[in-house]
Amino acid sequence: MRPLSLAREGIRFLRRKRRVAKHGFARYPGSAEEICHRIVDECYDRRQGYYRTSTGHFGEFYTRDFGWCARALLSLGHRERVRSTLAYALSRFERARRVTTTITPWHEPIDIPTVAPDSLAYLLSSLALLDDRRLIGRHRRFLEKQVQEYPKRFYDPSTGLVRPGDFSSIKDHAKRTSSCYDNCMLWLAATSAERLGLHGMPDPDAVRGRAVEELWNGSYFHDDMAKDGYVAGDANTLPYWTGMVADRKMLRSSLSAMDSAGITRPFPLRYQLHKQRRSFYLARLAPGYEDDAVWAHLGMLYLAVCGNHDPYRAGRAAAQYLSLVERHGTFLEVYAGDGMPFSSPLYITDEGMLWAAMLLHALRAGRPPRKEFKARERER
């Protein structure tokens, strides 16, 4: 990442921290659903034609976050905005000759903090969901080159998995080796490329087989190839959310393991990170940010995974987040272990997250409303 770009981002974050400390979060009126709809609308930059990640300090395009929200945005009827966002991202990426984690508010593609296996995976999966052949055709040559370069950068043919490397990931500051998350992204990139008719990726079935063989221990997925024995939230959500694993018995076992590890409380879902894997600097500047904090985007992925398997569990998670949205008047990024909005000396949780679309999508998909959840709680 370029030092000037990093400095700009840091300054924006610090300015917002001071503003929020003085004035509080920007609150939206209305019910939780109304607040979420308002956030989704305001995250769309009408002038540039793309979805920002938040109305707060993440006011730029993140390939990863947009990939999480693409299906939800389409289900909510925002097809033209999704198409415009992907057209914007593709034009910037093609000009830079690479796909990155981020496009700054100054329209510069950069990797924060470094190159990531999931950037191309989420771009391709979003394009596959949109299924706009004209847009794909316009950028096919660029996409084909990216697909062909991807295995050279991230794939280890000797193991059939993501090669070890210092890659950006869902836990940007964690020290992991061929993580379960990154291997889910390898599978997602491969299967999405196949759907788009792009060639050069490893066989998705082979990737799935190797990932399950190496990382599933019979009860849950290990966080990475070190297999340290702790239960990580992303490692036991993304295999099912991506569709790489569809085995209901394995899903039930992963959910039970997360419950036993305490990472679904006070509400889903904590990352959970082994102490030895923490970034030295992050642990001091923002202690707890990527280990025992509760992350709303992971909560939304968890909610989606639970939806068809356990409606009660999904309803409980939805009810908890609806209550949080109404309490704070916005959709927050991350919470401390005690359930309060995360804050450290140099960082405060972002607000107005585009992830609100995923909560709206869950409600539209028929998750039990709060009244039904509360009634069932009384019965227990």
pLDDT in tens, 191-232: 999 999 999 999 999 999 999 999 999 999 999 999 988 999
| For the ranges 103-117, 127-141, 286-300, 342-356, the one whose mean pLDDT is highest | 127-141
pLDDT at site 289: 56
Residue 237's pLDDT is what? 97
Query: Which is more confident, 281 or 64?
Result: 64
Q: In this structure, what DSSP letter does residue 295 have?
A: E
Cα–Cα distance for residue pair 122/126, rounded to 1 Å: 6
**pLDDT for 12:** 66
Position 108 confidence tier, pLDDT thresholds 50, 70, 90: very high
Q: Which of 49-53, 76-80, 206-210, 281-285 has the lowest mean pLDDT?
A: 281-285
Q: Report the helix count and the strand count for the chain, using DSSP H and E.
A: 16, 9
Q: What's phi and psi for 180, nearest 5 deg?
A: -60, -45
Helix axis angle for 180-195 and 118-130, nearest 10°, is: 40
Domains and CATH numbers, the chain: 3-379 (1.50.10.10)
pLDDT band per the 50, 70, 90 thresholds, residue 378: very low
Give the list of residues 6+ apart from residue 121 with CB closer than 8 angstroms, or none. 67, 185, 186, 188, 189, 192
Chain center to CA of 375: 32
pLDDT at 17 over 90: no
pLDDT at 265 over 70: yes
pLDDT at 138 over 70: yes
What does the pLDDT read at residue 174?
79
**What is the CB-side half-sphere exposure of residue 250 using CA atoms within 13 A?**
21
DSSP letter, residue 343: B
Per-residue pLDDT at 172:
79
Other C-beta atoms closer than 10 Å to the C-beta of 327 total 11
- Mean of all residue pLDDT scores within the chain: 89
Nearest of 131, 124, 128 to residue 89 by alpha carbon: 124
Residue 279 reports pLDDT greater than 60 = no
pLDDT > 90: percent of the chain? 75
Are the C-beta atoms of 180 and 174 separated by less than 8 Å?
no
- Whole-number Cα distances in Å, 93 to 86, 109, 110, 290, 310: 10, 6, 10, 28, 39
* pLDDT score, position 379: 39
Predicted pLDDT of residue 364: 87
d(CA 367, CA 213): 33
φ/ψ of 270, rounded to 5, equals -80, 150
Q: Give the mean pLDDT of 253-273.
A: 92
Q: What one-character DSSP code corresponds to residue 353?
A: B
pLDDT at 281 over 50: no
| pLDDT at residue 175, rounded to an integer | 81
State whether residue 214 is helix, strand or coil. helix
Q: Within 10 A of 257 (CB to CB), how many other CB atoms are there?
A: 17
Q: In whole angstroms, what is the distance from residue 44 CA to residue 253 CA? A: 38
With 0.95 as the threshold, say if the pTM is over it. no
Q: Is the pLDDT score of 375 beyond 90?
A: no
